[in-house]
Amino acid sequence: MSSVKPYQYNGPTGHFINGSFTSGSGSATIEVINPATGELLATVPDGTAEDVDRAVQVALEAYRTVWRRVPQREKGRYLSRIADRLEEEAEDLALLETMENGKPLAQARMDVGEAIRNYRYYAGVADKVEGVTIPERDGLFDYTIREPYGVVGSIIPWNWPPMHTADFTAAPLALGNTVIVKPAPETPLTTLRFAAIWQEILPPGVINVVTGAGVPGARLVEHPDVRKIAFTGHDSTGALVAEAAGRLVKSVMLELGGKNANIVLPDADFDAATQGAFNAFIKNTGQACTAGSRLLLHEAIAPRFLARLKELVSGVTIGPGWDEANTLATLASPRQYEKVRDYVKIGEDEGATVFHRGTLPDGLPNGFFFAPVIFTDVTPEMRIWREEIFGPVLVVATYRTTREAIFLANDSDYGLTAAVWTTNMMHANRLARELEAGIVFVNNYANSTFLGAPFGGFKKSGVGRKLGLADTIMEFTQSKTVRTAIAPVDLDEMDRYYAKQNGGRP
């Protein structure tokens, strides 16, 4: 069994405001712990409204006097340089994410790689933001331009720190905004390491970071000079964000939860579908809004499918994320551990069958490890079917008809992702149209990278889209129409005009 890996965090620990790290205005702090061991990694400020106000003032000044004036192509060069530096620090950043988030190191490397690609992608987008022209009429000619909002407040969660940090800084910056990032209190260190790179490259104030729990995020949403909020988190918090932003008529993008249906039709490729269903709920220890946490099996294939799925789940190796032999690591925090544990108890009390309950190996560090659980005989009224658990817990139901499968899949408050497994693409395309989800996987459950494709959900899964080219441009800019006069089509009229200007001479 893996021993505790010695690790010393040597990066910044303060707010990042106006290009410098600072302790902030308050005395309260937050302890950042390694969830695999319970050991203290660092202490960061628990930010105040005053800290946010200062960051907003700085970001607004940087927007008005510096960043808005930087040519778009030059903005792209800044982002490319950030990507280069992230690439140089990639292994250290991946290990840091594993230490503060708990996930397996191989997955952390993928997260950092995606963050690098994100900066490179939007570096290329920066000088390709275009408007439209509108046909002339009545002596008028209109065209549109896309303009930044100004200051964007980015409130990010703890489950993918490098990717979320990149998602909500690279695109807004490329499109001309300045940014204030409020990382999750569980995982601020990855964002602060990014800030050390921003400090080297960007003008002061273009990106700022305020660490803390609830107060900084609430103040960002309420601040009148923050004109756009990009929030990722639980739907209940997202509703509060939308309510507060609505009072100020402020634009919001909400990336919220999911309780995603994974439908396996009788003709599915058995090996691909079982492996896909396994990956869909195990990856990131189930702590993914895109996780395939509801499995819908046709009753004809359910017994064989479940038997194979149990074999796959029984084969996971559980342990600290830094040991690359482990495929399942720790949950990210004690609060998340308690939540997942409580939901398993709820499922048992509701009458669901525990088809499989994994066991933890001996000798684990004193962390928040949780073995996978598979529930069968789950019915739609059960809380474990309807509510987001965010852990390695899979709930399974069977169906007889395709209509029943679609009904079960759509009978949810959420609509982020769904999946269909079948060898008949005509059927897959029909189900993709019927499913109420922002993303539909067909014969895959590739929930690790979406860069270049629109990401977002229906219903309580959120509002707005990120990562897709056109969608992201629309998300972080606003349209301005410029109306001008245009000369008549009679070109002789122009000559008469110039003749008049020339004293009547032709």
Could you tell me if residue 490 is inside a domain?
no
How far apart are alpha carbons 409 and 432 in whole angstroms? Answer: 11
Task: Report whether pLDDT(223) > 60.
Answer: yes
Is residue 4 assigned to a domain?
no
Do both 268 and 333 map to the same domain?
A: yes
Q: Are residues 300 and 330 in the same domain?
A: yes
Distance from C-alpha of 398 to C-alpha of 298, rounded to nearest angstrom:
5
Q: What is the pLDDT of residue 4?
A: 62
Q: Is residue 389 situated within a structural domain?
A: yes
* Residue ranges of E strands in 313-461: 353-357, 373-376, 393-399, 414-415, 417-421, 439-442, 458-459
Asked if residue 403 and residue 374 are part of one domain, the reply reads: yes
Same domain, 48 and 130: yes
Whether residue 383 sits in one domain with residue 362: yes
- Domain with 369, as residue range(s), is 261-442
- Are 251 and 265 part of one and the same domain? no
Shared-domain flag, residues 350 and 367: yes
Q: What is the DSSP letter of 179?
A: E
Dist CA 306 CA 317 (whole Å)? 19
Please give the pLDDT value at position 1: 44
* pLDDT single digits (tens) 120-160: 999 999 999 999 999 998 899 999 999 999 999 999 999 99
Q: What is the pLDDT of residues 385-422, one digit of tens each?
A: 999 999 999 999 999 999 999 999 999 999 999 999 99
Amino acid symbol at 395:
V
Q: What CA–CA distance (Å, rounded) separates 169 from 13?
A: 19
- Residues 249 and 417: their CA atoms lie apart, in Å, by 29
Number of domains in the chain: 2
Residue 471 has pLDDT above 60, yes or no: yes
Q: Give domain status of residue 460, yes or no.
A: no
Provide DSSP, 482-506. Answer: EEEE---S-HHHHHHHHHHHTTT--
Same structural domain, 213 and 341: no
Q: How far apart are CA 101 and CA 162, in angstroms?
A: 11
Q: Specify the higher pLDDT residue, 502 or 246.
A: 246
Amino acid sitting at position 78? Y
Per the domain annotation, does 491 fall within a domain?
no
Q: What are the pLDDT digits (tens) for 430-467? A: 999 999 999 999 999 987 778 899 999 999 999 999 99
> pLDDT digit string (tens) for 72-112?
999 999 999 999 999 999 999 999 999 999 999 999 999 99
Same domain for 271 and 234?
no
Question: Same domain, yes or no, for 280 and 391?
Answer: yes
| Residue 461 placed within a domain | no
pLDDT at 505: 64
Residue 23 vs residues 27, 45, 59, 340, 489: alpha-carbon distances, Å: 8, 6, 18, 34, 65
Residue 340: which CATH number?
Answer: 3.40.309.10
pLDDT over 90 for what percent of the chain?
A: 92
**Cβ pair 306, 297 in contact under 8 A:** yes
Q: What is the mean pLDDT of the chain?
A: 95
Q: What CATH number corresponds to the domain at position 157?
A: 3.40.605.10
Looking at the fold, whether 331 and 369 belong to one and the same domain comes out as yes
CA distances from 44 to 14, 33, 233, 288 (A): 6, 11, 21, 25
Q: Are residues 271 and 235 in the same domain?
A: no
**Residues catalogued as catalytic:** 255, 289
**Residue at 74 is within a domain:** yes
